[in-house]
Amino acid sequence: MSIASSATLTLAGLVLCHAAQAATPAVPSALEDSSPRAVELSRPGAQQGSVLARGFAVGPYAGTPEQAALAFMDQHGAGLGLPPVALEAARSSTWRDRTRVHLRQIHDGVPVAGAGAVISLDDAQRAVMASAQLVPDLSVDSLPAISLEGAITTATQALALPLVAPARAQLWVLPDARGGRLVYRVQLWPDQPGAHWRATIDAHSGQLVTLRDMRQSAMAQVYEHNPINSGLVDVELPELDGVDYLMSEMAVVHTMVYDGANVALSQTAVADEQGDFFYEPDDEIDIYDDPFAEVNAYWHVTDIKQWFADDHGHSWGGPVGLTVNYRDSANGRYDNAYFSKDFAGDYTIVLGQGTIDLAYDADVIQHEFGHGIVDDLCDINAELDYPISFDQYGLHSAAHAVNEGMADYWSSTFQGDSKSAEYFGSAFGYDALRDLDNDRKTPDDLLGEAHEDGMIVGGTLWAVREAVGVPIADDIIYGALSSLSSAPTFLEYATAVDEHAAVAMADGDLTQADLDAITAVFEERGWYKSGRAISIADGEMEQGLFLGADLLAGYVGSSACTLARSFDGGLLFPLPFQFSFTVPTDVEIEAVNIDFGLEKATIPNIIDDDDLVYSFYLRRGEMITFQEYNLYDLIGMDFTILTDVIDFDLMIDDEPESVRLEVDDPDLPLVPGETYYFDLAGMNCPIMSFAIAVDFELAEIEEEPKSCGCSSGRAAGSALGLLGMLGLLGLARRRR
Ligand SMILES: [Zn+2]
């Protein structure tokens, strides 16, 4: 196909880069190449400030690692396609002989939430990899109109709970499509197990913007040994020699105990005369003062914690705090588990007594612990809502998919079992809550929900583990995770794994065949094409799901459709990615036909309402941007949705099934070599499946008709063109 090069402007820089690394054993010499030109050569074409670049070695730099990282960005940030923004050093970490310096973006001295870069330095202090998520064009006034104390007062009054520690506040810039918003973030620690709240106060108006319970990742999952697929084994609990209760440098466990309406945390597991903790489990009935739950939770947390310390050199400041038998009322059930970090950076894990006791399921415990590892290694999750994430470019599924998928992966790889939470799942009639031995890929299987999309991440990395072996897979996956910026895409994580695999090969720990196997897995699962936008070449097709209000049915019931359209602007659902095409320069085309191939998806539990309301949007050269809106004002829920499309050059409404874009359109001509981004967005009720095909219609009659790019063996281009023309007759077009 002649249009294979159409990806060049968007993704090919990175793809070519990984291909070059995979095809040649010249990685060591590439690492030794200290020519700054290498950076230009691997220019990855940053998409809206997000980039991950590798395949160069710049330096060595003098000074501290922090100074080296800042100097590198100063000299080469623009070469990587990144916007010129101010950065400061935040923290550093190490993997093998590499040092990662985390840089934070600042706007007039105020940190920008979720924005920064991670620069990897080799042992000679040369920059060898860069990952960045930067925000261009911030214009918000960085001078607050209200004081820090005023913000704390507003936040404390809004929470209206007694605090166990003084509240802390800090000024932040929240990025959006309109130049950013200046806010105070106020951290509050009320007297609740594992609780940690965050209030956001507008620093100009003083208004409370949101108030959020920071206990995250509802639901647990992973595990390994539980009452269903394993028996009881004797283990040695670490660091408990001569101790009466489950309390050590590694972990401290409490049980939630109700006395009437009063709730307290108590330690019910007590050492016997030999200093041992032998208790019998009981998984038949709900037990609310269950010493075995304490012992089981303590063991599985300390077991995996020791593994991360031994195998990955991971370190912690203090013990993991665990609460078992958690529930909302004395005889209530609580089918959930939480992970949170306290203000010292230590983990807190809360395990419910639900339909089953979640502390009996090692996968649940270790999945939550895995969130801590993800959190320690990179700042994923910084700004995106959970479990469905929108930002100004639409749906951003990858970051939370990485978070949930990696929590599953750590638990599963540690236990050597792809299935997660068999015991917890059994409470709801499932063999397991999730299984990483799957074929899921992007964009085909993206649902927009973190745990579901995490199956793509966990499943892909499980396949990498199967392909190259366990210890080395765990090592490079751990290393790659620590090199990612706050909102990684699938493309970025795949590229980071490639980079770390190349280092491992240079160290003699992987073969070229291993590298090729890893590349093949990511290619097969769609990771290399899945940046923020997916480029579609002539004759190619991408498929997946176009979400609708049915997505919310699980949360708000059958009124989801009505609710989604009930307020100003409505709730806008875009495609899981923006897509793009590049107008060819080697052949002259007359038009670009895009067929959306929409059909109602057969997902269970959807509302019986086939109403479709959506439009087509197109923008030249840059991604389309959306208006974000936080629902806190409206329904007291801190959740960002999309209500409007801000930046676009062309809109076609009335639910087009296909569009035909003419090259010579006087209002929006299609320029050879230029990339155009497009999306569908609307307020559909049902979830639709899409199969988007792009077809370039050649100008006039070519001398060599057989060179036409349309005959690629899928639906005839002429039929698509006809559909497009028919569609156009009834279309209203709006431009701006
Ligand atoms: Zn989770």
CA 216 to centroid of ligand 1, rounded, Å: 8
CA 451 to centroid of ligand 1, rounded, Å: 7
Cβ-based neighbour number of residue 376 at 10 Å: 18
CA 407 to centroid of ligand 1, rounded, Å: 6
CA 473 to centroid of ligand 1, rounded, Å: 21
Cβ(643)–Cβ(571) under 8 Å?
Answer: yes
CA 490 to centroid of ligand 1, rounded, Å: 18
CA 363 to centroid of ligand 1, rounded, Å: 11
CA 252 to centroid of ligand 1, rounded, Å: 21
CA 403 to centroid of ligand 1, rounded, Å: 7
Confidence of residue 701 (pLDDT cuts 50, 70, 90): low
**pLDDT at 401 exceeding the cut of 80:** yes
CA 385 to centroid of ligand 1, rounded, Å: 14
CA 419 to centroid of ligand 1, rounded, Å: 15
Q: What average pLDDT does range 458-483 have in this prediction?
A: 97
**pLDDT at 527 exceeding the cut of 60:** yes
- The sign one gets for the Cα dihedral 547, 549, 553, 556 is positive
Q: Which of 69-83, 350-364, 459-473, 627-641 has the lowest mean pLDDT?
A: 627-641
- The sign one gets for the Cα dihedral 399, 404, 407, 411 is negative
CA 88 to centroid of ligand 1, rounded, Å: 31
CATH of 148-213, one of 3.10.20.30, 3.30.360.10, 3.10.450.40, 3.30.1050.10: 3.10.450.40
Res 480: pLDDT: 96
Tokens linked to 469: 């072996």
Res 191: pLDDT: 76
**pLDDT at 46 exceeding the cut of 80:** no
The number of angstroms, rounded, from the C-alpha of 422 to the middle of its chain's C-alpha atoms is: 25
Highest mean pLDDT pick, 375-379, 486-490, 718-722:
486-490
Closest-CA residue to 609 (of 676, 554, 533, 558): 558
CA 51 to centroid of ligand 1, rounded, Å: 26
**pLDDT at 218 exceeding the cut of 60:** no
CA 406 to centroid of ligand 1, rounded, Å: 9
Cβ(711)–Cβ(643) under 8 Å?
Answer: no
Residue by residue, DSSP assigns 314-346 as: ---SSPEEEEEEE-SSTT-----EEEEE-TTS-
CA 215 to centroid of ligand 1, rounded, Å: 11
CA 428 to centroid of ligand 1, rounded, Å: 18
Res 176: pLDDT: 81
Long-range CB contacts for residues 33-41, cutoff 8 Å, separation at least 24: 33/57, 34/58, 34/59, 34/60, 34/126, 36/75, 36/76, 39/76, 39/79, 39/80, 40/79
Rounded CA gap, 624 and 391, in Å?
Answer: 11
Res 32: pLDDT: 29
Strands 434-435 and 320-326: unpaired
Rounded CA gap, 594 and 530, in Å?
Answer: 19
Res 485: pLDDT: 87
Closest-CA residue to 421 (of 506, 492, 362, 480): 362
Higher pLDDT among residues 60 and 55, named by residue: 60
CA 546 to centroid of ligand 1, rounded, Å: 24
CA 454 to centroid of ligand 1, rounded, Å: 9
Confidence of residue 237 (pLDDT cuts 50, 70, 90): confident
CA 455 to centroid of ligand 1, rounded, Å: 11
**pLDDT at 417 exceeding the cut of 70:** yes
CA 218 to centroid of ligand 1, rounded, Å: 6
Rounded CA gap, 55 and 42, in Å?
Answer: 7
Which tens digit of pLDDT belongs to each residue from 295-347? Answer: 899 999 999 999 999 899 998 888 999 999 998 888 788 888 989 887 777 89
- Phi/psi at 357 (5° precision): -85, 115
Higher pLDDT among residues 260 and 40, named by residue: 260
Tell me the CA distances in angstroms from 224 to 68, 281, 361, 366, one per residue in order. 43, 17, 7, 9
Cβ(404)–Cβ(370) under 8 Å?
Answer: no
CA 398 to centroid of ligand 1, rounded, Å: 14
CA 331 to centroid of ligand 1, rounded, Å: 25
CA 289 to centroid of ligand 1, rounded, Å: 26
**pLDDT at 699 exceeding the cut of 50:** yes
Tokens linked to 582: 């590049």
Higher pLDDT among residues 222 and 679, named by residue: 679
Res 723: pLDDT: 27
Tokens linked to 226: 């539980």
Q: Tokens 């028996």 appear where?
A: 231
Residue by residue, DSSP assigns 573-605 as: EE-SSEEEEE--SSS-EEEEEEE---EE---TT
CA 151 to centroid of ligand 1, rounded, Å: 31
What's the number of CA atoms in the CB half-sphere (13 Å) around residue 78?
3
Rounded CA gap, 587 and 4, in Å?
Answer: 13
Rounded CA gap, 255 and 486, in Å?
Answer: 34
At a CB cut-off of 8 Å and minimum separation 6, what does 181 contact? 140, 173, 174, 202, 209
CA 405 to centroid of ligand 1, rounded, Å: 8
CA 299 to centroid of ligand 1, rounded, Å: 20
CA 284 to centroid of ligand 1, rounded, Å: 26
Confidence of residue 284 (pLDDT cuts 50, 70, 90): low
- DSSP class of residue 445 equals T
CA 434 to centroid of ligand 1, rounded, Å: 12
The number of angstroms, rounded, from the C-alpha of 680 to the middle of its chain's C-alpha atoms is: 22
Rounded CA gap, 460 and 453, in Å?
Answer: 11
**pLDDT at 147 exceeding the cut of 50:** yes
CA 219 to centroid of ligand 1, rounded, Å: 6
Rounded CA gap, 22 and 239, in Å?
Answer: 45
Which tens digit of pLDDT belongs to each residue from 98-119? Answer: 898 989 999 999 999 888 999 9
Res 641: pLDDT: 87
Q: What average pLDDT does range 475-504 have in this prediction?
A: 95
CA 718 to centroid of ligand 1, rounded, Å: 47
Higher pLDDT among residues 601 and 460, named by residue: 460
Residue by residue, DSSP assigns 637-676 as: ---EEEEEEEE-SEEE-S--SEEEEETT-SSSPPPTT-EE
At a CB cut-off of 8 Å and minimum separation 6, what does 34 contact? 57, 58, 59, 60, 126
CA 71 to centroid of ligand 1, rounded, Å: 37
Rounded CA gap, 196 and 245, in Å?
Answer: 26
Q: What average pLDDT does range 160-176 have in this prediction?
A: 88
Confidence of residue 709 (pLDDT cuts 50, 70, 90): very low
pTM: 0.77
The mean pLDDT value of the chain amounts to 81
Which tens digit of pLDDT belongs to each residue from 425-446? Answer: 888 888 899 999 999 999 999 9
CA 99 to centroid of ligand 1, rounded, Å: 28
CA 380 to centroid of ligand 1, rounded, Å: 13
CA 404 to centroid of ligand 1, rounded, Å: 5
Res 192: pLDDT: 64
Rounded CA gap, 98 and 117, in Å?
Answer: 16
CA 447 to centroid of ligand 1, rounded, Å: 16
Q: Which stretch of DSSP H or E encloses residue 115?
A: strand 110-121
Which tens digit of pLDDT belongs to each residue from 578-624? Answer: 999 999 999 999 999 999 999 988 655 556 677 899 999 999 999 99
CA 364 to centroid of ligand 1, rounded, Å: 9
CA 349 to centroid of ligand 1, rounded, Å: 11
- The sign one gets for the Cα dihedral 441, 442, 445, 446 is positive
The number of angstroms, rounded, from the C-alpha of 707 to the middle of its chain's C-alpha atoms is: 41
Domain boundaries, the chain: 2-138, 148-213, 536-735
CA 574 to centroid of ligand 1, rounded, Å: 25
Highest mean pLDDT pick, 45-49, 290-294, 465-469, 566-570:
465-469
Closest-CA residue to 337 (of 318, 323, 348, 350): 350
CA 468 to centroid of ligand 1, rounded, Å: 26
Checking phi first, is residue 268 left (phi over 0); if not, alpha (psi -120 to 50) or beta?
A: alpha
CA 213 to centroid of ligand 1, rounded, Å: 15
Res 734: pLDDT: 35
Rounded CA gap, 581 and 587, in Å?
Answer: 15
CA 335 to centroid of ligand 1, rounded, Å: 13
Res 195: pLDDT: 64
Higher pLDDT among residues 389 and 154, named by residue: 154
Rounded CA gap, 713 and 717, in Å?
Answer: 10
Q: Which stretch of DSSP H or E encloses residue 697?
A: strand 688-698
CA 356 to centroid of ligand 1, rounded, Å: 18
Residue by residue, DSSP assigns 202-256 as: ETTT--EEEEEE--B--S----S--TTT--------TT-TT-SSSB-SSEEEEEE
Highest mean pLDDT pick, 240-249, 368-377, 602-611, 700-709:
368-377
Which tens digit of pLDDT belongs to each residue from 660-677? Answer: 999 999 889 999 999 999
- DSSP class of residue 62 equals P
Q: What helix, strand, coil percent values describe the chain, rounded to 5?
A: 30, 30, 40
Q: Tokens 């304490």 appear where?
A: 294
CA 220 to centroid of ligand 1, rounded, Å: 6
CA 373 to centroid of ligand 1, rounded, Å: 12
At a CB cut-off of 8 Å and minimum separation 6, what does 636 contact? none
CA 491 to centroid of ligand 1, rounded, Å: 22
Confidence of residue 34 (pLDDT cuts 50, 70, 90): very low
**pLDDT at 470 exceeding the cut of 90:** yes
**pLDDT at 659 exceeding the cut of 60:** yes
Tell me the CA distances in angstroms from 567 to 393, 571, 643, one per residue in order. 21, 8, 9
- DSSP class of residue 456 equals H
Rounded CA gap, 351 and 27, in Å?
Answer: 46
CA 223 to centroid of ligand 1, rounded, Å: 12
Res 448: pLDDT: 85
**pLDDT at 10 exceeding the cut of 70:** no
Tokens linked to 660: 């035909």
